Structure 1
Amino acid sequence: MTAHHRKLAPGRLVIASHNEGKVREIRELLAPFGIEPVSAGSLGLPEPDETGTTFIANAELKARAAADLSGLPALADDSGLCVEALGGEPGIFSARWAGETKEFGLAMQLVEDNLGKLGPDVGRDAHFICALSICWPDGHIESFEGRVDGTLVWPPRGDKGFGYDPMFQPWHHDVTFGEMDPAAKHAMSHRADAFRKLVAAVL
């Protein structure tokens, strides 16, 4: 992290994600800033292999690849669900647990099955982490990390959001991210937390 933040000028910005749910959330968060988001998918950019061992490393790798290929500033997000009782898993492998077809119903079942193996009294605390990295075509990169804490419910509830949202109930709320109005989720999610930090620094 450099002490001197670079400001992002209005105009086109590549969102280095092929996940439509993420692209939609990021587009909504960027709307007030005169930024015109274009998705990596719409530009035909390939998805790089996520070989990093941390959320920030993976976000930086994706942002750098998209900025290099597009010649535009690129914003990448790497996020995941970390379950305390599972030693932080699925963590950076959150998407991988959903398999090639990105079946998050299966991924949620896998989390639940793994918790079940630990017995009836297992803790259900979990948190979502979101790392956002923005990379300019000259290689300058800045990264920000956000987090939201909660508990896991079963069975999953709600059909809003995406990924593990239906089984994640943030602390001090009685609804899951899957049941929550998108505006309410945007106000408090891990992505919104990271986004606030990014906005303060570069927008």
Structure 2
Amino acid sequence: MKIIFATNNAHKLSEVQEMLGERFRLVTPRECGVTEEIPEEEPTLEGNALEKARYLYRRTGADCFADDTGLEVDALGGAPGVRSARYAPGEGHDFAANTAFLLKNMEQVPDGERTARFRTVIALILGGREYLFEGEVRGVILRAPDGEGGFGYDPVFLPDGCDRTFARMDTHAKNAISHRGRAVARLAAFLKERFA
């Protein structure tokens, strides 16, 4: 089954494709002729995921899903949250700049208060009906990046109960416990049940 995933991020696409398996073939908006920036202007993760999925559905009429992910740091009042991809000052999505800005804003936060959670919300439009799936993982923000893998804030996020950051995990290990992995697992279970 072909389904549009509202991302042009190759890392994210491969992570989700691996979890959904061969039964579902993910295609990008670009492959469907949607080359413009997909709007995400809502104040919540749920709102952004729905906005992106609805936009794609209006443009293509095809089954699709979109996600939005935020890193919510307790000591920063939940920031960067919905602004996670555009947290650092300036234009664009610069993972390194976002991470550096986060660490700068947390310089004075004591080790015992560096708690955070990653949260992913997926909005699926299937046959014109909307569904939401959520995944969350709690952890702490390190004082310096550790690891080269993954993307985004992976090098500074240490999940609870783990001895290595997401950036030091292979894709399979990360998907088993990550926020996106948990949300995609719920999406996959739903799709497999629907198309059993």
| Same-fold status (TM-score > 0.5) | yes
CA contact 2:45–2:82 (8 Å) conserved in 1: yes
The aligned counterpart of 1:100 is 91
Counterpart in the other structure of 2:152: 163
> Within 1, Cα distance between the matches of 2:111 and 2:28?
43
Partner AA of 2:145 in structure 1 = P
**Superposition map of 1:54-73 within 5 A:** 54-73=44-63
Q: Using the TM superposition, name which of 156-165 and 23-32 deviates more.
A: 23-32
- Contact in 2 for aligned 1:82/1:89 (Cα 8 Å): yes
Preserved contact between residue 67 and residue 137 of structure 1 (Cα < 8 Å): no
How much has 1:167 moved relative to structure 2? 0.5
Query: Which of residues 111, 114, 117 in structure 2 aligns to 1:127?
Result: 117
Unaligned segments of structure 1, at least 5 residues: 1-10
Matched, 1:42 2:37: no
CA shift for structure 1 position 44: 3.4
User: Is 1:176 aligned to residue 142 of structure 2?
Assistant: no
1:69-118, CA deviations, whole angstroms, 9 ceiling, x for partnerless residues?
122100111001111100010000001115534221111111111112x4
Equivalent residue letter for 2:60: S
Name the amino acid aligned to 2:135.
G
Are 2:104 and 1:113 aligned? Answer: yes
Q: Distance in 1 between matches of 2:153 and 2:30?
A: 22
Check whether the contact 2:53–2:66 (CA below 8 A) recurs between aligned residues.
yes
1:20 paired residue number = 10
Distance 2:80 2:178 in 1: 18
Q: Secondary structure at the match of 1:110?
A: helix
For the pair 1:191 / 2:171, whether they are aligned, the reply is no
Letter in 2 for 1:109: A
Q: In 2, distance between residues paired with 1:82 and 1:65? A: 26
Percent identity reads 37
Q: Count how many residue pairs are aligned between Structure 1 and Structure 2.
A: 190
1:178 match: secondary structure:
helix
2:86 and 2:94 in contact (8 A); partners too: no
Q: Aligned partners of 1:158 and 1:115: how far apart in 2?
A: 19
* 1:123-175 deviation per Cα after TM superposition (whole angstroms, max 9, x unaligned): 1111100001111353x110011100111112101111111101001011110
Structure 2, gaps ≥5 residues long: none
Q: Aligned equivalents of 2:109 and 2:69: distance in 1?
A: 28
Q: Secondary structure at the match of 2:21?
A: helix
Q: TM-score, normalised by structure 1?
A: 0.87
Shift of the 131–119 alpha-carbon distance from structure 1 to 2, 3 Å rule, reads closer
